[in-house]
Every structure is written in structure tokens, then in C-alpha cells.
Amino acid sequence: MKRGIAGVAGGLVVWFVVATAVNFLLRVSWPDYAAAEKPMTFTLGMLGSRLGMGALSSVCAGLTAGWITRGAGTPVKVLAALLLVFFIPVHYGLWDRFPFWYHAAFLASLIPFVLLGATLTAKSVVPPASG
């Protein structure tokens, strides 16, 4: 139980840390992105970069949760569901600022990419020898 809670919490923290770091890198390395961020006037390439940031954050969150929980499936699914529940109202509030496909792609990608990250961790975790 403790490991499951830690996995969910760790995954949430990692999602936001990775997203913040990548967003910072985008701002400092792409002046047009930095200028477009406050008014949210992103180009197609910028929207794609933001979707990539979300995908990377989700995979890293799943990796973290999978590593902490040693591949336990339920906490990873809880993490994925919590991210989706968190971001639905965020995207609802931003609905008019971005095209429908962007919202759909972001929200639809959360669960699969978290699960992918956890799967990658599970494949690298060696089960303890029995006996």
C-alpha cells in the first residue's frame, strides 16, 4: 500500500518536474515560443512540441511509478487516471485557445504513455529469485 501511494505521488511529481523542465528549455531555446506562451498563440510546431512535452512527461511519470511500485499495475493505472482527471478541467478552461485536435491528442495520450512508461520499467525490473 505504501509503495503504491509513493508510486502515484512520485509519478505525479515527476510529470510536473519533467514538463516544467522541458517547457523551460523550449522558452530559452526558442524565442518565438517564449513570446507565444503568455498569449497562447502557438504555431502548429509549437503545439506539436507541447504534445511531445506531455508525452515525455507521461512516459517519465509511468517509469517512475513503475520503478517505485516494482511494476505493480494498479498504482500506475491510478496515476494515469489522476492525470486525466486533473487535466480535463484544465483543458476545458483552455478550450477556446487551442484547436480540438490538440485537446483530444493530449488527453487521449495521457493514459497510454503513462502505461508505456510503466511497461518499460517492468521490463527492466528483474524479479527476485524464488526459493
- Quote the DSSP letter at residue 127: P
Write the CA distances from 6 to 12, 45, 66, 93, integer angstroms.
Answer: 10, 36, 11, 30
Phi, then psi, of 38 in degrees rounded to 5: -65, -50
pLDDT tens digits, one per residue of 42-71:
999 999 999 999 999 999 999 999 999 988
Question: Is residue 130's pLDDT more than 60?
Answer: no
pLDDT tens digits, one per residue of 71-102:
878 999 999 999 999 999 999 999 999 999 99
- Strand, coil or helix: 124: helix
Mean of the pLDDT values across residues 96-113? 97
pLDDT tens digits, one per residue of 118-129:
999 866 655 555
Q: How many CB atoms lie within 10 A of CB 123?
A: 10
Whole-structure pTM value? 0.90
